[in-house]
Structure 1
């Protein structure tokens, strides 16, 4: 009987195990996680769960009984120390060895860190710790106007904290959305009283706050660092697998070793549509990438070509984004951006390459179809709908 091992018990790993069973795999499935919590989804950690608006039980991918009911050997609080692809086995911290026929690496990513006593938001424990510190009138300083940074800032504001955001880029989300839409999010937070410090970096985190690169010191009761995440590629690199910005895979999510696969935040997969490798850290990639890897492990024909997708909720703004803005040449709006109810399209060569709907719902499929069609659009018609 074949044994399939999944290293990484996050959303991608859990959905891969689920898909293996749904597709009829009757061999042994071992799902190994370094955390002590069973697999859970991370978006609520910086959104509804951080705000105290959702129950803890709602973040988990499956019920506690699901793993036993589906004969999935879930091993939590356990770290893999080595992968040996040529011998088809992994080594665990307790000294044991586990052979496999096929292996999926879904180890995710870890927050990029700064020296000093800052808080980070990656695990459910991190979210709970932050929420406990969001007391009324607390001074919260967020380093990084990233998605995590801005969602944390919004949660802190709604908890009654005074909030400052420090970001070396000229505006919020500059790399993710470009300056035009990044500025919209900056105005959103400024309108809620957030003190935005763009064009400056945090040089030092201290017990009493932050010293900026300009030399200015900002006092804070709590410093939260949200400057991005780095893929957990150490095991793969040590195993001799090809690693770039993440674990390199083909479009079938197969690594440089034919019996080892990668999915989720850690994977840098070849995207057939973009004809280049992408690493996508967002929830949807784990949700769909895990199942795609599972089908590939089963020998099915897989070409993982889903458009990058992510969403955010900040204050009374909700949005969904599809595509990739790299190389965009112009922007077309449908609706008034100042109204915070609109759709925006990024174009290159007259074609839509990305789209974002802000407080407009049930249009994602239409936006993604427009992107994948590759048609040259009439901008006037595009702006009117």
Structure 2
């Protein structure tokens, strides 16, 4: 069943995906009422800069906002901030806020995102524990990253490694503790994981892999077998938990995320889910999947806006991620994996390089360092399922590695 030209759209979640959905609806000509509901006091903003430019003070918090505050009025989008949605009443077609206000909808978009996963072990009173998911998190953590501060980062995923890079840039002494045997175990092939490990070790980060933390204390962390690491700041970056409780309480299907089809629909024809909270249902050719990324938020917002405006949805882009660490821009697209043959172009020790991952003559994934143009070109080859001659894969222009500015 198709939702045809609703007169009112309510978006629950004033983050990147929710804000972009509202903008795209207007760009596609939607003339009805749009209401964006969020529990934070900030207007919709992007999260990637939080662990980089915002944390290091290079950019102010306002630089993360999707649009300037006055532009929401120009778009005729109502922002209702600082008041959480506590109930979805599907029978009435309305949501109820913590303030008891009831907001009706013709179409509802759940863009509730995810929250930082809490440390599962014991946390002592006074332990200096931080996470990094929101602007408020960044504002709380930034003043603690002082010169010579001892910073323990739990988790060697994107957030943990970016925080480590930013903290070192600010002069802190950083230890990263990871339960897996290498960083980004589920995302990075072994060879590239070794390169990123060397990047951090070469910049003074103390990396501890295959290590489990059991307790967070006021003066540091305690690991298995009684070993410990002294710390003035503890940053927990062990993943994110989708905020799917609201959907579950409303009787929608959830599975570590709200289950949706390729057009972001739940099984209720009037309700959609997008961004980090949305999980694509399994098909006969593809397993269920939930991706947390800037690109996913953008794609879902475009898709749901097109569906609600009766416009044609465009094909989704190849999955793409990026991270900036120690002055290096790292981009991944497709499915770089140890399952595929790898072809290296460039020299990892002397600047830009790219690694292509092939299954026969089909390009399945790519990782590039300081060569965004080459990654974009590879994305098109992956998208088009082009037949590749491995010998013809290009080498990126030689670009010297940028030296990361570090305090003396």
Name 1:213's counterpart in structure 2: 224
1:173 equivalent in structure 2:
184
Q: Distance in 2 between matches of 1:164 and 1:57?
A: 30
SS, match of residue 190 in structure 1: helix
- Structure 1 residue runs of 5 or longer lacking an equivalent are none
Q: Pick from 304, 320, 324: which aligns with 1:309?
A: 320
Aligned residues: 385
Deviation beyond 3 Å, 4+ runs, structure 1: 270-277
Do structure 1's residue 366 and structure 2's residue 371 form an aligned pair? no
Q: Which moved more, 1:370-379 or 1:285-294?
A: 370-379
| Match in the other structure for 1:338 | 349
Cα deviation 1:109-140 (Å, max 9, x = unaligned) = 10111152421001112112211011111000
**Cα distance in structure 2, aligned partners of 1:293 and 1:79:** 22
The worse-fitting range, judged by mean Cα deviation, of 5-14 and 209-218 is: 209-218
The aligned counterpart of 1:52 is 57
Match of residue 21, structure 1, among 16, 20, 26: 26
TM-score normalised to structure 1 length:
0.95
Task: List per-residue Cα deviations over 1:274-329 (Å, max 9, x = no partner).
Answer: 73432111112112321221111223343652211111111121121111246732
- For residue 156 of structure 1, the aligned residue among 167, 180, 199 is 167
The 1:327–1:197 alpha-carbon spacing in structure 2 relative to 1, beyond 3 Å, is closer
SS at match of 1:174: coil
CA contact (8 A) 2:354 2:395 kept: no
C-alpha spacing 1:40/1:93, structure 2 compared with 1 (3 Å):
same
Alignment deviations for residues 217-263 of structure 1 (CA, whole Å, 9 cap, x no partner) = 11100000111111110011111112123211111111111111111
Q: 1:196 aligns with which of 189, 204, 207?
A: 207
Q: TM-score, normalised by structure 2?
A: 0.90
CA contact (8 A) 2:337 2:357 kept: no
Partners of 1:338 and 1:245 in 2: CA distance: 40
Structure 1 residues 69 and 373 mapped into 2: Cα distance closer, same or farther (>3 Å)?
A: closer
Tell me: CA distance 1:273–1:332, structure 2 relative to 1, closer, same or farther (3 Å).
Answer: farther
RMSD of aligned residue pairs (Cα, Å): 2.0
In the TM superposition, what whole-angstrom CA distance separates every residue of 1:68-91 from its partner, at most 9, and x where no partner exists? 122111000011111122331111
Aligned: 1:299 with 2:305: no
**Pairwise CA distance, 1:340:** 4.2
